Amino acid sequence: MPLGERGGDKSDSRYCGVETEFNEDMPLALSSNLSSGFDFIVCPLMDPTYRPSQMESLALASVLPFAGSDLVLTPSQWSSHVVGKVSSWIDLDSDDQLLRFDSETTLRQEISWASHLSLQACLLPPPPGPSCGNYARCVNHILQGLNNMQLWLRVPLEDKSDDDAMDAFSNHLHSETQNDSWEWWNSFRLLCEHHSQLSIALDVLSSLPSGNSLGRWFGEPIRAAIIHTNSFLTNARGYPCLSKRHQKLMDGFFNHSVQIVLSGKQMHNVPMGNMECNDLANSHFDGTDHNPLRSYLDYIGYLYQRMDPLSEQERFEIGYRDFLQAPLQPLMDNLEAQTYETFEKDTIKYSQYQRAVSKALVDRVPDEKASTITTVLMVVGAGRGPLVRASLQAAEATGRKLKVYAVEKNPNAIVTLHSLVKLEGWEKIVTIVSCDMRCWTAPEKADILVSELLGSFGDNELSPECLDGAQRFLKPDGISIPSSYTSFIQPVTASKLYKDVKSHKDIVHFETAYVVKLHSVARLCPSQPVFTFTHPDHSTKKSNQRYRRLRFEIPSDTGSVMVHGFAGYFDATLYKDVHLGIEPSTATPNMFSWFAIFFPLRTPICVPPGSPLELQFWRCCGSTKVWYEWCVTSPCQSPFTTPVVAPIGLGCRVCFSGRICIVA
C-alpha cells in the first residue's frame, strides 16, 4: 500500500519496494511481500548460478534455461509490482575473457527477458569504477533497441572517508575504492550519451558524504534510493530509526518522487504485536504480519506522512515542475485572457506594487496638501487593469488624489479595461489609452510611471527599451516603479531539462532560453548579479547593451559536477525599500508570477573539484531586436557560433547558437 498521503499530494503518494533474493516461486515471493505492505519487489529474474559458458553448446546459450515462465504472473503484476535485477556477478570489464563473455551474454539475455515481461525498470549492478568502458558500451547498445523500460544503474552513495561503509560492495570495487562514485556515474552516462532511459538507483549506506556532495545528486535522474537496513539506528524503544542527516535525505527523495527500496537483513529484534511507539504513530502494522523488514517499512511510512502538507502555491506549481516553456514576448505578442487571469491571481505581487505606490504618493504629496494636489500616474502596459486597481487602492489608503492614464497596446485587453472602468465607476479618474507606450504622445507629464514589464531574467521582456521610450512623458523629478532591477545567474545540474531539450534533436532548441519551474535541479553555488537597469535614466550616452564575465567557485566538498546550463532570476526595487523578485536568497515569499529562466548548454561541462567555472554573457541590441549570447570559457570552452546575418522585422523570432533573440 502507499506510504501515505500528504495534504494536497494525493496524486503523488510515494511507494516503497523491497530487494529480494532469487526465488523460483515468483508468485509466492510477490504475494508475501505485497501482503506485508510493500508495493513492489526488486528481484533477480535468472538463477545466479547460471553461466552461458556452461551450456553444452553456444546455441543453447541464447536460450533462457533458468528463467521462469512469464505466465506465473499476470502482465499487470509484472509491470506494476516487479523490478528486474540483473545478476550481480557480471563483470564486463574483467580481464578474464570467459567471465567477460558470460557477463555480456547474460546481461543481454536478462534485459531482453525483462523487456519481454514489460517491466517498468531493471536494476543494473554498480560499475567497477570510472573505468567501465565495455560495461557502458554494452548497455548503450542495449538502450538503442530498448522499449520504454528504464535501466537503473546502481551507484553507492558512499562517504569516501569511511572505507568500512563500502564493505557491501567489495566484490564490485577494484583499485578505485577511494574514487567519488559520482565519477562512476558520470563516466557511465557520458559513454551512454546521456540516454533518457538510463537512470540511477542510489545505494544509501550508514555514512553519508557532505551536504554539498549530496545536493548535486538531485539534479541527476534518480529513480530509486536503496536504503540498507544497516543504515538504521535504534531508538530508545528498540525500533529502527534513521539519523537526522538520513532523515533530511529521505525528505529530499520524497520531494523528488524517488522510489524507496529496502534492502538487507533484519538488524533489529522488534517485538511483534503491540507497536505503540511515538515514532511509528502512523504505522499500518496490524500485528499479524511477520515480514522481518516490516518495522523498517513502517518507519519509512512515518517519515513520509510527517512531512508538511504542500502549500497552495506548491499545489499550483506542481504541474509546471521541470516543464520547459518559451518565455512570453508581450511586446511582440498580444497575451490571451487565460494568461492575464493567471498573473492577476498573484495577490503578493500587486500588494507589493500597492505598497510602492503608497510610499511614492506620500513622498510626492505632503499630508497638508493631500486634498488639493492631484498626482498624475501612468500605468504603461496596463493589461486588464490590476496595476490600475492597485494604484487607486494606494491612493485611497493614503488619502491622496489621483489621475490615472492606463496605456495598453493589446486591443483585446482594452475592451476589458473599458468594462472595468465602467463597472468600478472610475470614468472621472481613469483615462484609457489604446496605444504602444513608445508611440504615444502624452497630453501631460506624469508624476509616477508604473509598469510590470519584468521577465524572469528582469530585462528579457524588453522593459529597458519600453521604459526608455516611455520616460519622455515623465516629469524630470518623476518616479518610476520599478526604479531598478538586476538579473542573476547560477550554474545548475539539470539532467531532465537537458534531456528534454536534447530530445528535439536540433541545435535551435539549445539556442533558446526557457521559462521553467525548477525542481529536479542541483544549484551548484550562489547566484551572481549580471545586468542592472535603473529608471528613469536621463544620461545622454546610455546604451542597453551589456557584457559581463562571471566566475563561479563551486564548494570544494561538492566533488565533480556536471553543468547542464544556467538558471536565471531577477530582483527588482519597486520604490525605496519595497522590492520583489525570484532570486533564491531574496525571493518574495508566495509569489508565483515568475518562474526561473533556463539557459542550456549544447554540450554539458564537467567541472572538477577546485576548478572555477567562467561564464561570459552578453545582452546585444540591434535596431529591431535584442538578444543574449552566452558561453563557458573555463574549465573548458562551450560552442560559440557566429550569428547568421539576416534581416529581422517586427514579429520575427530568431535565435542563434548560444543566443536568445527578443524582438523589439
Distance, CA of 283 to CA of 299 (rounded, Å) = 8
Q: Is 498 annotated as a binding residue?
A: no
- Give the single-character DSSP code of 627: E
Determine if residue 408 is labeled as part of a ligand binding site.
Answer: yes
Give the per-residue pLDDT at 204. 94
Closest CA to 420 of 453, 387, 448, 444: 387
- If you ran DSSP here, which 8-state letter would residue 583 be given? -
Nearest to 295 by CA among 248, 224, 231, 241: 241
Residue 267 counted as an annotated binding residue: no
Quick one: residue 610, left, alpha or beta (phi over 0 = left, psi -120 to 50 = alpha)? left
128: confidence class by pLDDT, cuts 50, 70, 90: confident
Query: Residue 18 CA to chain centroid, in angstroms?
Result: 28
Positive or negative CA dihedral for 297, 298, 303, 309? Answer: positive
Residue 162 annotated as binding? Answer: no
41 to 79, 146, 160, 214, 287: CA distances (angstroms): 11, 22, 30, 26, 22
Across 166-172, average pLDDT: 43
Work out the pLDDT band at 613, boundaries 50, 70, 90. very high
Strand 625-634, strand 659-663: pairing: antiparallel
Nearest to 93 by CA among 145, 130, 45: 130
pLDDT digits (tens, 9 = 90+) for 461-507: 899 999 998 899 999 999 999 999 999 999 999 999 999 999 998 88
Its CATH architecture, for the domain 10-310, is Alpha-Beta Barrel (3.20)
The pLDDT of residue 439 is 84
Q: For the chain, what percent of residues have pLDDT higher than 90?
A: 65
DSSP 480-540: EES-EEEEEEEEEE-HHHHHHHHTT-SSGGGG--EEEB--S-EE-S--EEEEEEESS---T
Q: Which of 57-61, 352-356, 648-652 has the lowest mean pLDDT?
A: 648-652
Choose the catalytic residue: 220, 452, 465, 629: 452
Is a pLDDT exceeding 80 seen at residue 56?
no
- Return the CATH number of the domain spanning residue range 485-663: 2.70.160.11
pLDDT of residue 597 exceeding 90, the answer is yes
The helix (run of H) or strand (run of E) holding residue 99 is: helix 97-116
Verify cis geometry, omega within 30 degrees of 0, for the bond prior to 635: yes
The CATH number given to 337-452 is 3.40.50.150
* C-alpha cell recorded at residue 316: 499550483
452 is catalytic: yes
Query: What pLDDT is stored for residue 77 in this prediction?
Result: 93
Domain ranges for the chain: 10-310, 337-452, 485-663
* Residue 621 pLDDT exceeds 60: yes
pLDDT at 15 over 70: yes
Give the whole-angstrom CA distance, residue 513 versus residue 598: 5
Confidence at residue 66, expressed as pLDDT on a 0 to 100 scale: 56
Is 302 annotated to bind a ligand? Reply is no
User: For residue 131, what pLDDT is reported?
Assistant: 81
- What is the grid cell recorded at 175? 583499485
Which of 461, 465, 583, 629 is flagged as catalytic?
461
Name the grid cell of 259.
Answer: 522510489
Give the end-to-end CA distance of the chain in Å, rounded to a whole number. 55
Greatest mean pLDDT among 336-350, 351-365, 611-625: 351-365
Confidence (pLDDT) at 661: 47
pLDDT score of 243: 95
Do the beta carbons of residue 651 and residue 332 sit within 8 Å? Answer: yes
Q: Is 110 annotated as a binding residue?
A: no
310-316 mean pLDDT = 81
Helix/strand/coil percentages in the chain, nearest 5: 30, 25, 45
3-state class of 16 per DSSP? strand
Q: Nearest 10 degrees: CA dihedral of 162, 163, 167, 169?
A: 90
Q: Is 247 helix (H, G, I), strand (E, B) or coil?
A: helix
Give the sheet arrangement for strand 613-621, strand by strand: 546-552, 613-621, 625-634, 659-663
Contact criterion met (CB below 8 Å) for 563 and 601: yes
Cα separation, 495 vs 256, whole angstroms = 13
